[in-house]
């Protein structure tokens, strides 16, 4: 449910930028205490976003930034009251603050996320979205703000030690429906049976492993330690490029095919893309994005 629209005021903050009132929307923090969303808008960002473009004009006319999201804790997940929390929820609040509008976060399965832009249902996708050639055919991407490597996840008690062990007839690999892990399954496990399941509100298809519907699945390498804590009975193991990964953190040599993570944008709107790219670069240069990631990524274990 979209929160009531809040009229936002702008307070000048000298030549260094402006201070905006924090945007209202369907996001919160619940029991979490992340670094707050900034209300200071850098001058370069304000100038880049104070232009006319099809998307910017539509957003400002409606007074709402429509943000498409996919459930991918801790990037995006629901609080008990139904509000959204996580990295992308804070990103949505910050960009709406830049634009001086409210925001509405709407969830979709990953396979239909690009269509939200091509059909005009959303203005931006912020969903731990991997940049892939397949998606580039439908949508544009912002400057990447994170890089995510992958690992295969298996039960620790399973006999699989290497990717070669998984790439055998009779081995069943499952990926989250609509996610980019499908491409890696086909690349590394051409002999295995490859299938998909809806992720829903899950980050890992752990139940498929426990129920023996699948022998292996795949998700982000950075989540390894947190997933080991969350799913410990029975325990998990990970397989990277050089076999089973020891410890609770993968090395760069272990990680499989890192993807750039960026915001999805509609094609044919360079003004909107420049606005978002300038904002992303400011988040990276200021360290805000790093602090946001550093806070939220460990929360996966909760």
Nearest residue to 197 (alpha-carbon basis) of 189, 211, 170 = 211
Statement to judge: residues 73 and 157 lie in one domain: no
Statement to judge: residues 141 and 162 lie in one domain: no
Statement to judge: residues 31 and 140 lie in one domain: yes
pLDDT per residue as tens digits for the range 203-219: 799 999 999 999 999 99
Exposed e or buried b per residue across 59-90, where buried means at least 16 C-beta atoms within 10 angstroms of its C-beta:
bbeeebbbbbbbbbbbbbbbbeeebbbbbbbb
Statement to judge: residues 15 and 120 lie in one domain: yes
Residue whose entry in the numeric block shows the structure tokens 């029991």: 31
Confidence (pTM): 0.81
Report helix, strand or coil for 113. Answer: helix
Distant-in-sequence, close-in-space partners of 61: CB < 8 Å, separation ≥ 6: none
Number of structural domains found in the chain = 2
pLDDT per residue as tens digits for the range 134-159: 999 999 999 999 998 999 999 999 99
Statement to judge: residues 159 and 189 lie in one domain: yes
Statement to judge: residues 126 and 154 lie in one domain: no
pLDDT per residue as tens digits for the range 53-80: 999 999 999 999 999 998 888 899 899 9
Q: Is residue 114 part of a domain?
A: yes
CATH of the domain at 180: 3.40.190.10
Q: What is the domain range of residue 193? A: 148-259
**Distance between CA atoms of residues 266 and 272, nearest Å:** 9
Among 1-5, 20-24, 193-197, 199-203, the range of highest mean pLDDT = 193-197
Residue whose entry in the numeric block shows the structure tokens 């307070």: 11
pLDDT value for 7: 27
**Distance between CA atoms of residues 221 and 266, nearest Å:** 29
Q: Is residue 5 part of a domain?
A: no
Statement to judge: residues 61 and 86 lie in one domain: yes
Statement to judge: residues 21 and 107 lie in one domain: yes
**Cβ atoms < 10 Å from Cβ of 174:** 21
Statement to judge: residues 196 and 229 lie in one domain: yes
Distant-in-sequence, close-in-space partners of 237: CB < 8 Å, separation ≥ 6: 153, 154, 155, 156, 158, 244, 245
Average pLDDT for residues 162-191, to the nearest whole number? 94
């Amino acid at each position: 449910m979209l929160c009531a629209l809040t009229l936002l005021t702008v307070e000048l903050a000298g030549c260094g930028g402006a201070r905006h009132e924090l945007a209202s929307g369907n996001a919160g923090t619940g029991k979490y205490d992340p670094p707050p969303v900034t209300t200071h808008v850098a001058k370069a960002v304000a100038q880049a976003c104070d232009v006319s473009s099809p998307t910017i004009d539509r957003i400002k006319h409606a007074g709402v930034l429509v943000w498409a999201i996919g459930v991918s804790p801790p990037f995006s997940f629901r609080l008990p009251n139904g509000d959204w929390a996580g990295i992308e929820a804070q990103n949505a609040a910050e960009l709406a603050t830049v634009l001086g509008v409210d925001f509405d976060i709407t969830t979709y399965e990953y396979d239909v996320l690009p269509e939200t832009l091509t059909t005009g249902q959303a203005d931006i996708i912020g969903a731990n979205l991997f940049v892939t050639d397949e998606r580039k055919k439908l949508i544009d991407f912002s400057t990447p703000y994170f890089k995510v490597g992958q690992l295969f996840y298996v039960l620790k008690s399973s006999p699989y030690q290497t990717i070669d062990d998984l790439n055998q007839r009779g081995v069943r690999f499952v990926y989250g429906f609509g996610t980019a892990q499908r491409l890696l399954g086909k690349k590394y496990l051409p002999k295995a049976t490859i299938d998909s399941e809806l992720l829903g509100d899950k980050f890992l298809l752990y139940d498929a492993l426990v129920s023996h519907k699948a022998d292996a699945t795949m998700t982000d390498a950075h989540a390894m330690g947190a997933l080991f804590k969350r799913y410990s009975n029975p325990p998990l193991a990970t397989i990277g490029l050089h076999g089973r990964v020891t410890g609770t953190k993968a090395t760069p040599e272990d990680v499989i095919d890192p993807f750039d993570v960026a915001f999805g944008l509609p094609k044919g709107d360079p003004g909107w893309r420049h606005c978002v790219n300038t904002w992303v670069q400011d988040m990276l240069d200021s360290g805000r994005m790093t602090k946001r990631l550093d806070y939220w990524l460990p929360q996966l274990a909760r």
